[in-house]
Each structure stands twice: as structure tokens, then as C-alpha cells.
Structure 1
Amino acid sequence: MSAPPARSPRVGVWLIGARGSVATTVVAGCAALTAGLHRPTGLVTEGPAFAGSGLPALSSLVFGGHDTTDCPLPKRAEQLAAGGVLPPGLPTAVAAELAAADRDIRTGGPLPGDARTAEELITAFTEDLRDFVRRHALARAVVVNVASTEPAATGTSLPPSSLYAAAALRAGCPYVNFTPSTGLHHPALAALAASSGLPYAGRDGKTGQTLLRSALGPVFAQRALDVRAWSGTNLLGGGDGAALADPAAAAAKNAGKERVLADTLGTVPEGEVHIDDVPALGDWKTAWDHIAFDGFLGTRMVLQTIWQGCDSALAAPLVLDLARLTARAHETGRAGPLTALSFYFKDPVGTAPAALADQYTALLRFARDLGDPE
């Protein structure tokens, strides 16, 4: 009688914004895939190119996190199903997994009226992470920021995203910033990031409009077509819509979108992106782009694109990809910015190609290297 297969070491995924739409979709989706209820559509790391990369199995992932809200994950999943984000019946089918993850969510901060200093908050968050790793006997844990966008940092004080990032590194956990928020980009954290010996990646997940921009920008550059203007509009609701109604938060979000065009076109065309909060849309969004360009002999032409989708369903598989890839990078001794993960980000850390095709090539090379770390 043959011995049963060895159980994969368990890997933690600690989500900042753990009761939000993206985090809830991540937990419910991972449980659904593990149970064989749905195909892994959108999950790049489930493709054949990653079969030999040594990534942690989806069934080995253990979820927890920080949040400042108290809506339980099972209830949040029911709300998402009612809005068409999750399939009908899925919250019931994975209720046990949602409840288990919810028990590992700790109160974040700073809360209104919170008198704790930045150092006290970082210390508290660090201990939450260490406790999570100890209690579940995890081989490692990856911290992924999926919280709402915060305004760009000003001055020397650390914004919430940077407090969580500092706690991740102090706890010995790799860090991924899926948002445009500051995170590890704060100058005060540069020395900690450099000395931590940990891998990190970010920032701002590339899910819709900017995904198209990173694919279309090289088309114009490679065909020697002159882009005169590139304007866009985003209509979205939910927590992101409310957060991005703040002009400062919207500016932080748009910086990555503009960088993609500058890097792929080699110039900065006229036009800007507008973000409008439409609460009735919930977790659904519409992104429209209007591209004015010149062809041969100055012939003026226009390309328009419309992207309609559910941000949580677009983001969740990418978060799972990033958690698995970053965990494996940590396991194989990598440290510093994971530039090969630029495929997933609008504003990637380190020096990375801007064109989507080049980013995908770098990702596949990274996947091969992970399977043969020597």
C-alpha cells in the first residue's frame, strides 16, 4: 500500500482590508477552487507554464488580516452574491472557510480617536502577524494590501498603508501592495526594506483600464503612429468609488495610469482620466478611453474602448497569483523588489518593462527560475 502524498506546508495570506469586496472574493474564490466548485478562470498561476514552479497549493493557503470594519465575511459574501459579484449559493457552500478566515481578522487602525503612536500601531500589527503564523504553524505568511486607496503621503508621518507595510517586514513577512497607496514607498521605510532580506512587490494592481493601456500603448509605438491625445473616464461604485471621490486619492490612482502611457509611448499625450463615484454601480465599473492619433500623411483617426467589469472578480485571482509567487520567492531566498511581477501592476517597483507582452515574458522566465532556484 503506497504512502499518502505529503501535505504541503501551510502558507498564510494576511489581507489588509480583509473584510472588503476584493478580500472577500479572494477567500471565497480560493475555497471554491479548492473544493472543485469552479474552474480557475483568471488565475494565471494555474496555467501549465507554472506547473513546475513549486508554488504553494491553493489548498495550503490560510487567510487572515486587518480591517477597521466589523461586517463578518460570511455576511459580506452574501452581500456580494446579492450584487452579482459572487455566484448564487457560493457563500453558503464555503461558509465554513469564510467563518474560519473571519476569526483571524484583527482590528486595524488608526481608528477615529485612536491615540496610539505610529510605533505603537506598528508593534500591535506586528504581534498580530506573528500570532497568526504561530497559531497556524505556518511556513511563512505574505501580507497583501487590498484596502481602499488613501491620498498620497505628505510630510514625514506614516500613512496607514505604511504602518502595515512596516509591520509586515518586522514580522518577517513578504509584502505586496495591490493598491496605489504609499505602503513601502515611504522614504522612512527605505532602510527597513533594504535590510529586511524579504521580497516585496507592488504597486496598484492592473485589472482593467490600465491593462488595456499597457497592451495598446506599444501598438501605437511599434507601428510609428503618433498619439495626440488619450483621455479616459471611470465610473464605479462600492468602497473604491467612495474612496476615490476624494480628489487626493483619485490623483494617487491616476498616477499609475499616466505612467503606463508615458513608458509605453515614450511621450505624454494630452488628456487625463476622470473618476466618478456612482454608488448605484456597486462593485461594477465602466472604463472608457478615447485615443486620438495620426496615421500616414497626418490622417487623423480615433480608437475608443469600453471596459465593463467587476473589479473584485478581476482583482481576486491576481491577489492569489501574487501571494503564491511571492511566497515561493521567499521560500527560495529572494529579497528586494520582485520586478518580474510587473505584469500585475500599474506602478511596479524596481526597473521593469512597461509593455504587457514584455512583462509577461519576464513573468514566465521568473516562473521557470522559481522551479529551478539553483
Structure 2
Amino acid sequence: MTKQRIGIWIIGAWGGVSTTAAIGLLSLQKGLTGTSGLVSEHPYFEKLDLVGWDQVVIGGHEIRETSFVEAAKHFSETSGVFHPALLQAVEPELNEFDKNVKPGTLIHVGDTIRSLAGDSVKQYDQESLQDTLARLSADMTEFQKQHDLAHVVVVNLASTEPPVEESAKALSLAELKEQLASAETSPVPASALYAIAAMNAGCSHLNFTPSAGTDLPALIELAEEKQILHGGRDGKTGETLMKSVLAPMFAHRNLNVMSWVGHNIFGNLDGKVLDDPVNKSNKVHSKDHLLTEILGYKPQTLVSIEYIESMGDWKTAWDHIHFKGFLDTKMSLQFTWQGTDSVLAAPLVLDMVRFTEREWRRGNRSGVMTHLSSFFKSPMQATTPEFERQYQQLEEWANTVSEE
């Protein structure tokens, strides 16, 4: 199939990761940056004939009132990234992307996220849930038509929601449809509503957050019914990436991990939202389950996430691993991971969109994309938690696609 233009529709369009992805995309289009950090630019994947950077356009939903340029300038001032000359070079295109951003929804986002919302989205507070779904879906459809896009990939980059209600995890699709009659009876959060809207618009869906997204039985069923590709959840960019690499080493060497403590500090908008204990609980669970899955037993663990405003987007993770070796000798390993959260995450978003579009283009247009497991902390339907094995699955998928 001949490659055509595609769209990335981002939930949380003016957030740090989205803004970085937009600047990165435009920088790639203009030849202003190299390809370091982009998995899809590894020579191994050249055989896939992936969509070119100049064939991609960005739009999305947002609840705040700002713009790509304003968000980028704030990000640059607080975190010291984005050279002013680079921002100036891509500013006209960022302004064009702004025209594609529409008001999202505040249904079941939680009080902390609602506190960030502007008036443009609050005007829809009296809108019925069904009208909200129709509006969100229409925005995606219009974006595709306006820009003559062959396909649109919806990516959830919004702030972490409170955990989904347990009742929602047991619902069939038919039962969920009944409860979606109104916002009052709906058991699912905004991330799931965006996902439903995406499926109704025929868009693929990726969830880069710990929020529910499509990771519910009813929505997995809906994806099959609508023939939609989807994947998630929670991007694996820093500390958890290290865990997924180091924990197998301890397991394979039969070194007994007695405790693993991880402290995380950062000061971006995501950190501010995670300062709410309810929202934080969703993220902590996503970061903490991995060790037990890899080691086969549960060591004592502690994961802390603290909002330190002065840090901006720079995230520091300090881990202390206490383990037992031969002759019951106790030893330890410590590491410190420092990086800008959004700069680590944004290239992975662009990668996953390219891999998703390639899967869609080959004609496989339904189900969970397990070959993208290496990108997520809590990958849906994953067969292994180890990073190296997950990455091998991506390579195996690439081999299969290239041989067709």
C-alpha cells in the first residue's frame, strides 16, 4: 500500500510530552535534529518502510488554555530545554498545530485535573455523556478529513487519573453501553471515554499513561468489534526501564533481592497532579508490580513520587537495591537516573505511532499490539515483563512484516 499522510491526535495536546513530540517532529521534518532516542530510526527497522516524518500532522484534545508555543516557552524557562533558535524555527508550524486542538472533557477526571481546566472546556459541563462522545469522535473525524489523512493514531498523554472503579473491570461491552447512558451512571474515567470516541472514529489508540484507557474487558471487546488496533499502558522511560533491565540480572544470577527502594522527584505538571494521593496511587502501582513478575517473589519494596516544583521537567530517580549473595552475604547496588521526563518520553510516542501505522497499513487492524510491550510499564496482554525479551518481540514483529 502506498504511504499517505497520517495524523497523531493527542489527548493532553499542550502538555510537556506532547509539546516535546510536536517540536521533535517538526525538527525532524526540517532536519534540525538527529535521531538519537528514536527506536524506529534504528537501522534494524529500515526494512519496514515506515511512514516518513514529513507525512505526519498533529492535533488533539486539551482541557487547559495555552498553546504549543506558550507551553514550549514555559518548558524552556523552567527546565532549560529547547534552544530559542529551535523554537523560533518551528513556531509557525506549532501555530498551525494549535488550530487542530479542541476542548476535551472533564467527565470523571478527578478534582485535581479539573482544577487545571479553562473556561473553553467548562462550557461543556452540562453536555450529556453521549453528546460528549459524539463531539470528541467528530473532532477526530474532522481532523482526518481536513488534512486528508489515511489514518489517525490517538495517543493518551493526559495527566494520570484516579484509579478506575473496580466495578468497571467486570463489565461486558453490553453492560458498559447501558451504563454510558449518562455521566452519573458511567463507571469509566475520561481516558476510557476518549478511547471509545477514538474507536467510533476508526482511529488506532495508544495509552502512554497509567490511566485506564482501553485496558478494560469491555473496551478490549469494543476494539475487536470495531476492528481497532490499540496498546498500553504507561510509558516506560526511566526508573522502571532500569528495573526491567536489572531485575532479570538478579534473577538469572540467583541473587536474592531482599528490598528495592525507589525515590522519584520532579516538578512538571504531571508531578503536580501526582501530588494528589489518589492520582499518585495509580502511578505507584504501575511502577511497583514489575519486580514480583520478574523475580518470581515479592521483595520488600517502596516507591515514592514527590513533587518538587523547582525541578521542572528534570526527574531524578534514586534506587537502593539490597540483595543477598553466596554465603548469605548481604550486598547492595545503587543507581541514580536523571533526565527530562518529556524528552525521554516524546520520541517513544513518535516511534509507537510509526509502528502502529505500519501494522495498520499491513492490513492487521484489530487487537492489542503486544509487539509494543517494551514501550510500557504495564503492557496489555504481555507475555513477559523483561525488557530484553519484550524488545525481541518487536524485532520478531519487524521480521514478519518485512517478509510479507
Give TM class, smaller chain.
over 0.9
Counterparts in 2 of 1:262 and 1:304: CA distance versus 1, 3 Å: same
Mapping of residues 277-296 of structure 1, within 5 Å? 277-296=307-326
Q: In the alignment, does 2:231 pair up with 1:197? A: no
What is the distance in 1 between the residues matched to 2:293 and 2:86? 41
Q: Which is further off, 78-87 or 287-296?
A: 78-87
What is the distance in 2 between the residues matched to 1:8 and 1:344? 24
Deviation (angstroms), 1:187: 4.1
Structure 1 gap ranges (5+): 1-5
Within the candidate set 46, 63, 66, 1:71 is matched to 66
Give the percent of matched residue pairs that are identical in Structure 1 and Structure 2. Answer: 42
Deviation (angstroms), 1:85: 2.4
Within the candidate set 278, 285, 290, 1:255 is matched to 285
Mapping of residues 1-374 of structure 1, within 5 Å? 8-82=3-77, 83-110=79-106, 111-112=121-122, 114-154=125-165, 155-156=167-168, 157-334=187-364, 335-372=366-403, 374=404
Deviation (angstroms), 1:68: 0.6
Residue 126 of structure 2 aligns with an amino acid whose one-letter code is A
Residue 18 of structure 2 aligns with an amino acid whose one-letter code is A
* 1:15-64 Cα shifts (integer Å, max 9, x gaps): 10000011000000111112111101100101111101121111111100
Q: Secondary structure at the match of 2:47?
A: coil
RMSD of aligned residue pairs (Cα, Å): 1.5
Residue 128 of structure 1 aligns with an amino acid whose one-letter code is D
Residue 396 of structure 2 aligns with an amino acid whose one-letter code is R
What is the distance in 1 between the residues matched to 2:338 and 2:255? 27
Counterpart contact for 2:57–2:97, Cα < 8 Å: yes
What is the distance in 2 between the residues matched to 1:277 and 1:230? 21
Counterpart contact for 2:263–2:305, Cα < 8 Å: yes
Q: Secondary structure at the match of 2:80?
A: coil
Counterpart contact for 1:81–1:91, Cα < 8 Å: no
Counterpart contact for 1:27–1:97, Cα < 8 Å: no
* 1:172-203 Cα shifts (integer Å, max 9, x gaps): 00000000001112344232122121111110
Deviation (angstroms), 1:81: 2.3
Counterpart contact for 1:54–1:370, Cα < 8 Å: no
Deviation (angstroms), 1:109: 1.0
What is the distance in 1 between the residues matched to 2:136 and 2:316? 36
Deviation (angstroms), 1:7: 8.8
Structure 2 gap ranges (5+): 107-120, 169-186
What is the distance in 2 between the residues matched to 1:262 and 1:89? 46
Normalised TM-score (structure 2): 0.88
* 1:274-303 Cα shifts (integer Å, max 9, x gaps): 110111111111111111100001000011
* 1:108-147 Cα shifts (integer Å, max 9, x gaps): 1124571223222111100000000001110100000011
- Residue 3 (structure 1) aligns with: none
Counterpart contact for 2:220–2:367, Cα < 8 Å: no
Between Structure 1 and Structure 2, how many residues are aligned?
Answer: 368
Residue 54 of structure 1 aligns with an amino acid whose one-letter code is D
Counterpart contact for 2:12–2:18, Cα < 8 Å: yes
